[in-house]
């Protein structure tokens, strides 16, 4: 069900919003507002909640010449291997690397891990983007796969609206 409402904006804000909408390619103001509200509400929820599960991406830049920093970051990920799904490592120049780590797990642990990484001396531009999710463990089979008749156990991860 869709609910309509009207919003009044001063001219400067309306022009800035319209430029944003066009730049990102939204076909309508409504779709742009919906996405902005979803993002804002998800951030608010993830900042206020301390329990529940989430998926997220932690992105940061560091100087790989800085003594023991690269090894320490790798060790931190190994120590929390149940949270770290994958890491993309990009060489920006001769000195700096960008890493983006996909994280999944309890909200409080993901936040704590991210805070510890971002707080390390030599890590810059650290940012965590979180999406609260519902995790449901299930045992069933997808499609027509031959096998022993047993269903596969796996998780379904559903983002909150």
CA distance linking residue 30 with residue 98, whole number of Å: 35
Cα 22 to Cα 14, 26, 134, 135, distances in angstroms = 12, 6, 33, 36
Q: What is the pLDDT of residues 84-123, one digit of tens each?
A: 999 999 999 999 999 999 999 999 999 999 999 999 999 9
| The total number of residues written for the chain in this structure | 161
Q: Are 128 and 56 a contacting pair, CB within 8 Å?
A: yes
Q: Where are the domains of the chain?
A: 11-48, 53-136
How many whole angstroms separate alpha carbon 110 and alpha carbon 131? 11
Query: Are both 11-48 and 53-136 of the same fold?
Result: no
pLDDT tens track for 114-155: 999 999 999 999 999 988 898 887 767 666 666 655 667 778
pLDDT at residue 2 is higher than 90: no
* Look-up of token digits 């022993």: 148
Fold of the domain built from segment(s) 53-136 = Alpha-Beta Plaits (3.30.70)
pTM of the model: 0.68
Q: What is the distance, to the nearest Å, from the Cα of residue 154 to the centroid of all Cα atoms in its chain?
A: 21
Class of domain 11-48: mainly alpha
The pair of three-digit structure tokens given for residue 46, joined into one six-digit string = 């993830």
Measured between alpha carbons, how far is 55 from 52 in angstroms, rounded to an integer?
11
């Amino acid at each position: 069900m869709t609910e309509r409402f009207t919003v009044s904006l001063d001219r400067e804000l309306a022009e800035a919003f319209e430029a944003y909408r066009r730049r990102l390619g939204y076909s309508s103001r409504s779709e742009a507002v919906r996405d902005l509200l979803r993002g804002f509400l998800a951030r608010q929820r993830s900042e206020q909640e301390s329990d529940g599960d989430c998926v997220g991406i932690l992105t940061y830049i560091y100087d790989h010449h800085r003594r023991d920093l690269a090894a320490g970051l790798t060790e931190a990920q190994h120590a929390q291997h149940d949270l770290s799904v994958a890491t993309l490592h990009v060489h920006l120049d001769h000195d700096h690397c960008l890493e983006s780590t996909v994280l999944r797990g309890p909200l409080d642990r993901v936040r704590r891990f991210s805070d510890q990484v971002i707080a390390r001396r030599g890590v810059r531009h650290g940012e965590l983007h979180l999406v609260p999710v519902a995790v449901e463990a299930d045992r069933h089979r997808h499609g027509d796969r031959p096998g022993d008749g047993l269903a596969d156990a796996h998780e379904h991860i559903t983002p909150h609206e």
